[in-house]
Structure 1
Amino acid sequence: MNIDYQLLSPQQRRSEPLAKDTDLGFGLLRTDHIFLMDYQNGEWINARIVPYQNLQLAPGAMALHYGQSIFEGAKAFLHQDNEIYTFRLDKNCERLNQSAEILSMPSLDVDMQLQAINALLDVERLWMPTATGASMYIRPFMFATDDSLSVKPSNSYTFAVMLSPSGAYYAKGMSKSLKLLITQQYHRAVSGGTGAAKAAGNYAASLRAQQHASSVGADQVLYLDASNQYLEEVGAMNHFHITRSGELVIPEFTDTILKSITSQSILSLTNELKSLLDLTPVQKKISIKQFLADVQSGEITEAGGFGTAAVTASVGHYILDNGEHYTVGNGEIGEKTQKLCQYYSELQQGKQAAPNNWLVRVERIN
């Protein structure tokens, strides 16, 4: 793939590294450039890196009317050798194609996605944050561009990649546990729908539930399946809990759950987690009735969530629609959850040995 570099002049671009004390927030900052590529007549064309700018869309663009819009979230880290490394980026590229298939959108070769993202990271090296716990958040996305009001798959699309130097997803970070609302009133997805896709519409549908959760003092919603019998996921992350026996339990993946790259990574680290933390990752179908009973009895000792943005979050409290309140352990961050977060973060930062090909250095081209 040939990329056309249309970069800002040196005088217009960042000229020195991002200061360590920069107030990052999460997803608030933008780098100088964006990658764009178009899909027309059955092929991807016009790959380019241009100054970050507003996109031009026809008022009838099908993404605006019929929701053909998908995205990914990945991270890159500045290691001690002053080089940039992506973490399991190929898995995000594969998942983007899985989302595309679900929404009847074209696939994009994984190697082309990797080349696009790495090229943009290379251009924006001076934007890499160096603060503890910070990373370069990578947002690839694809949307339909046909100017048509017919309900059908679009024939044209745009693929884009933007970057955001970011700190912790939750303002509380790992300094305080989260409170989740378990509700039978709202559902994230149903079988046969788009629940397994990272689709814009899934997140739009979660906003009302999130507002309701906030109104009762909860940070997020832990969704149940459509039958209200089994745990599924939190809107922004997969759920997990830890038992007295040392099982780290993640709900079984179904077509109503987005497969977190973090969850998949944890499940593949069985030997490491057993050795380091005496934890055994497993997947099970989790009854809400049994889950609450196990929280109440103390059989479940810790709980939390896995996701690229949040990495590992701790959950200390659950609220039901009727106001019932369940506390995990003493309601504070669990010791093993804290150590798990530290271990996984150190994998990403190159401070722990990661499995082969999980960390890939961004080549210096420009």
Structure 2
Amino acid sequence: MDIQYDLLPKSERLQQQFEQKEPLGFGGLVSDHMFLMDHSNGEWHSPRIVPYGPFEVVDTANHVNRVNVMPNMATLHYSQTIFEGVKAFQHPDGELYTFRLDENVNRLNHSAREMCMAEIPEEVQLEGINALLDVERLWMPQQDNASIYIRPFMFGTGGFLGVKPSSDYVFCTFLSPSGAYFPDGFSPIKLMLTDKHKRVAPKSVGTAKTGGNYAASLKAAERAKEFGAKQVLYMDATDRFIEETGAMNVYMVTRDGEIIIPQFTDTILESITSRSFLELGDRLGHPVLQEQVSALDFVTDIALGEITETGGLGTAATVAPVGSFIMDLGERKRTRVREMVVGDGQVGSVSTEMYALLTGIQTGEVEDTKDWMQKVERRG
């Protein structure tokens, strides 16, 4: 692939290793450049790395090659938009490595199929993202627990009214030097377990990482914040089974040391972090299982101490231990909302082992026996 480089003048871009004395946070900063590519007339073309900022889009339906965002752009009305989240880490050798980028590339194409969008060849995505990381490698934060968060996304740019797939798309990737997803880092968080809201409907696009699924979770998330919860843990449409949060899969640890991840269904986004732990069970020393988790049993087992730890799993948060749940169940009266502590409310030993193993692999401190970490080659 012939990538065009249209970079900022050296005097206007980062020239030495990025440093941030303030708490880094997550997703608040962006690097100098982004990768762009257009789809029109049935093919992807014009791969380029350009300064981060507003960009023009292709609209062949209206016979315009370059236009600013138009009021009738398909994405603004019919939500044809998908995205991914990936991380790159600096290893002791000073080089950048991505974690399971090939899996994110495959999942983006799965989302594209679900949303009737154009797929992007795997090798094209990989080359574009790695080229951008090479240009922006100075943006790698030097703090502990830091990474470059990679956000690839695609949206329909065709201009029309009427519900149908766009034929034109833009694929963009930008980077954010980031710290921990939650401000307190690897510390217990609070979730709200609710039967008042659903993340997605069965037999819809629950397995796609599409913007509409996240928009649908915002109202519930705002309610959770009223009670100090970071996110919402959803049940299935029948209120019988535990599913996932608005941004993470979940896990639970039994008194016997088993790690259980709810079975993937058509209303759960298949987390690459979850799948990684399913493949790492032999190194954890704990069985990692997938099964349907009864909501009633889940609540009962926490109360009885049969479930000793729970938490969230995802690219952004990695492993996020849960110390307690706000129980938003049954009647809508706020007086029925109560808090249930998991174990002793602190980070458990199994969660600590999970976090140490995965972050150790990601940062190059623990052996990567599965070749999940891929080096970002220098291009001169």
TM-score (norm. length: structure 1): 0.97
- Supply the distance in 2 between the matched residues of 1:250 and 1:339 (Cα, whole angstroms): 16
| Residue 7 (1) aligns with residue 7 (2) | yes
Cα contact 2:39–2:169 (8 A) shared by 1:
yes
Query: Which position in structure 2 is the counterpart of 1:223?
Result: 234
| Residue number in structure 2 paired with 1:69 | 81
State the distance in 1 between where 2:23 and 2:321 align. 24
Do 2:110 and 2:208's aligned partners in 1 also have CA atoms closer than 8 Å? Answer: yes
Q: 2:376 aligns with which of 342, 353, 362?
A: 362
Structure 2 matches for 1:246-261, cutoff 5 A?
246-261=257-272
Q: String of CA shifts for 1:65-87, please: whole Å, max 9, x gaps.
A: 10000000000001111100001
Q: How does 1:94-109 map to 2 (within 5 A)?
A: 94-109=106-121
- Which among 193, 197, 206 is matched to residue 195 of structure 1? 206
Query: Residue 128 of structure 2 aligns to a residue in which SS?
Result: helix
Q: Is the 8 A contact 1:118 1:362 kept in 2?
A: yes
Tell me: CA distance 1:325–1:20, structure 2 relative to 1, closer, same or farther (3 Å): closer
Query: In the alignment, what sits opposite 1:139?
Result: 151
1:332 match: 346
Matched, 1:21 2:31: no
* 1:99-131: CA deviation from partner (whole Å, max 9, x where unpaired): 111100011111111101000000001111111
Is 1:295 equivalent to 2:302 in the alignment?
yes
- Paired position in structure 1 for 2:37: 37
**Residue equivalent to 2:222:** 211
Provide Cα deviations, 1:132-178, integer angstroms capped at 9, x if missing partner.
00000000000000011121000100000000000000012113x11
* C-alpha contact 1:21 1:131 (8 A) present in aligned 2: no
Instruction: Describe the superposition over 1:39-86 as per-residue Cα deviations: whole angstroms up to 9, x where unpaired.
Output: 001100000000111133222110111000000000000111110000
Secondary structure at 1:31's aligned position in 2? Answer: coil
Which of the numbers 365, 374, 377 marks the counterpart of 1:351? 365
Q: C-alpha offsets along residues 172-192 of structure 1, whole Å, 9 cap, x if unaligned?
A: 2113x1111111110001211
1:72-91 to 2 correspondences below 5 Å: 72-91=84-103
Corresponding residue for residue 316 of structure 2? 309
Secondary structure of 2:148's partner? strand
Q: Percent of pairs identical after alignment? A: 48
Taking the aligned partners of 2:230 and 2:53, their CA distance within structure 1 comes to 33
Gaps of 5+ in 1: none
- State the distance in 1 between where 2:168 and 2:2 align: 20
Distance 2:243 2:277 in 1: 17
Displacement of 1:325 = 2.5
Show the counterpart of 1:149. Answer: 161
1:164-175 aligned at under 5 Å gives the runs 164-175=176-187
- 2:192 is equivalent to residue 178 of structure 1: no
Aligned-partner SS, 1:257? coil
- The amino acid that maps onto 2:74 is M
Aligned residue type for 1:9: P
Ranges in structure 2 where 5+ consecutive residues have no aligned partner = 56-67, 329-335
Shift of 1:357: 2.5
Q: How much is the aligned-residue C-alpha RMSD, in angstroms?
A: 1.0
Question: What secondary structure is seen at the aligned counterpart in 2 of 1:11?
Answer: helix
Counterpart for residue 256 of structure 2: 245
> How far 1:355 sits from its partner (Å)?
2.8
Q: Structure 1 stretch 324-333 or stretch 148-157: which is displaced more?
A: 324-333
Match of 1:320 in 2: 327
Q: CA deviation at 1:324?
A: 3.1
**Helix, strand or coil at the partner of 1:265:** helix
SS state of the match for residue 202, structure 1?
helix
8 Å CA contact 1:68–1:144 kept in 2: the answer is yes
Task: For residue 167 of structure 2, give the secondary structure of its aligned residue in structure 1.
Answer: coil
Structure 1 runs, 4 residues or longer, greater than 6 Å off: none
Amino acid paired to 2:254: T
Residue in structure 2 matching 1:262, options 253, 262, 273: 273
Structure 1's 338 and 356: CA in aligned 2 closer, same or farther, altered over 3 A? closer
1:110 aligns with 2:145: no
